[in-house]
Structure 1
Amino acid sequence: MTTSSSWDMPLRTRLVVRAISRERGAISSLAAEEIPRMRAWAAPARPPYSWITGRVRRDVSIGATAFRARDGHSVGVRTYRPRRGGPGPLPVLVWLHGGGWVLGNTRSYDPICTAIAHAAGVLVLSVDYRLAPEFRAPQAALDCVDAVRWVTGSAPALGARPDGIGVAGDSAGANLSAVVTQVVRADGGADLAHQSLIYPAVDATMSQPSVAEHAGGAILTRADMDAFLGHYLGEGPDALERVDPLVSPLYAADLAALPPALVQTADLDPLRDDGAAYARALRDAGVEVELTNYPRVPHGFHSFPGATPVGRAARDELTRWIARHAHRPRVG
């Protein structure tokens, strides 16, 4: 089905979005047994796929490590270290992938994570946090909080600086990034210098105007959002409320003293106004915020920058922001 918003996209964007949607199918009709297969998929790191996703940089070393979460579970981490700049300790960016807390994997983010590591001169650590429906909220958030605390405590072994740590992610990963900054500010255990939130999902009530405006939009629909949240929250007496800040960081009682934030949104995205509302709330609380809304692109456009006229600009803005804040001298 073609939606009105899809006609606002450039032709090459429409064609790629159509191919992605045909390959993936509707999230809202995804059977439970199909979820593991969809989680495992990643675009091959070769043309013609890399023309769309961006190339995986060969001047960045990709490795793997793990840490123990608070319940003893081993959480995998995919590592990206730029080869330039020598062996000295680097600032760290903790990357949290998207996928509605249900889908996604760390390998599929190799293009963007290697681009950040190279351009920003940081060690990128992509966290393989636990996913729903096997693990309901707030397990993903707890894994990600534990990840940034582990980075702080293990910095020398990682070849990392214990200061200059940032968090970033897209969609559900941006939700988790926002939650992490709030939890560690309140409870300690890590010193975060910056956050980058790419089309963040911060309001699980789905009451922002763009949710209705782009309910049938490309890549992400209102029905998809319902399905993802249904898997993530579950049902029963232990299910978190939709306004719980561990699910909807927009509803936190206090947003003061959070790290500087870059918020990037897509104009044809149901989550566009989530990002704008969170940026306003952060700014009202005295937090340094930069908000950029990219025109004529749908949700997820960072994952296919070669198919959009603004993909390169969005990645460049992201890497510049991370570099500027990761390498900023810290006081105290």
Structure 2
Amino acid sequence: MTARYRPLVQTATPRPEDALPLAGGPHWFTHCARHARGAPITVIPAAEVPQDVLARLTAPREPVAGLSMQGCRIMGILNVTPDSFSDGGTDGSVAESIARARQMLDDGAEILDIGGESTRPGAPEVPVDEEIARVVPVTEALKGVPISVDTRKAAVARAAAEAGATLINDVSGLVFDPEMTEFCASARLPVCVMHMRGTPETMTAETDYEDVLLDVYDFLETQIHALEHAGLPREKIVVDPGIGFAKTLEQNLALLNGLSIFHGLGCAILLGVSRKGFIGKLSGEGDAAQRFPGSIAVALAGAAQGIQIIRVHDVPQTRQALTLWQAVEEGGSR
């Protein structure tokens, strides 16, 4: 029976003498929750956690796409699609997309995530040529800026990398296109592996989990091992639990509550919750564009668990909230 260990993350100062750093960053822990299938969750001192697990929980994360992972970075969402769930059609032309990208950078985004295929529930697949035509011109125009390209297709990833992309964000977790793993490994290109079952068209019927936290962890670990076997080092891998993708409201909340368990994978963690449906269900806000208060609340909850990247639509509001939250958290050490 394989156990997983979830650090009980703290930010208070001063730190106890036995505190261990979380992912080499400002957060720390002294205890972990032990999760195992068919067994109750128990809390144990960090000293009782296996040494190989502790090494991954505490080791500093290497930079990704040229960005330090010692803190929470803001990824701005740049959809170049006509049908995204919250802002489809906003970026109607290449010029408009570039202008919006520049504005997000001015507002505090540190990396941009360009997507040419909607992944909203029920969204159909976009042909490769069409997706490339949407993504590549914008990527080329922003060359020199940290750019992530949100795609499930190796051909799109290849074209985007040639245009200057520095990270591939695969929402299928390398499942959709069997060539994606080999491409990222051969190109030595950082990749974000997200958990999703099925496709955007079918995922709402794929929510039968034995234990959602452990099932998602095991999937991500398997995909990490596949990338390592192909030749991509772990420090170039980012993981994303896939909030809202083939998950019920209760499952989303369970993943968010247990988010720190994914530090045990030894990779930077990306969290994408911005404007998602579960926020609307909990808040009663039907208009996705008006869900930024709830999105920020969940983003800060993720920051409190030590995530490295938060993917957002509302960049200036999130930047302001994160800056203030960090100032308060660091106040005792000034």
- TM class by shorter-chain length? 0.3 to 0.5
Q: TM-score, normalised by structure 2?
A: 0.34
Q: TM-score, normalised by structure 1?
A: 0.35
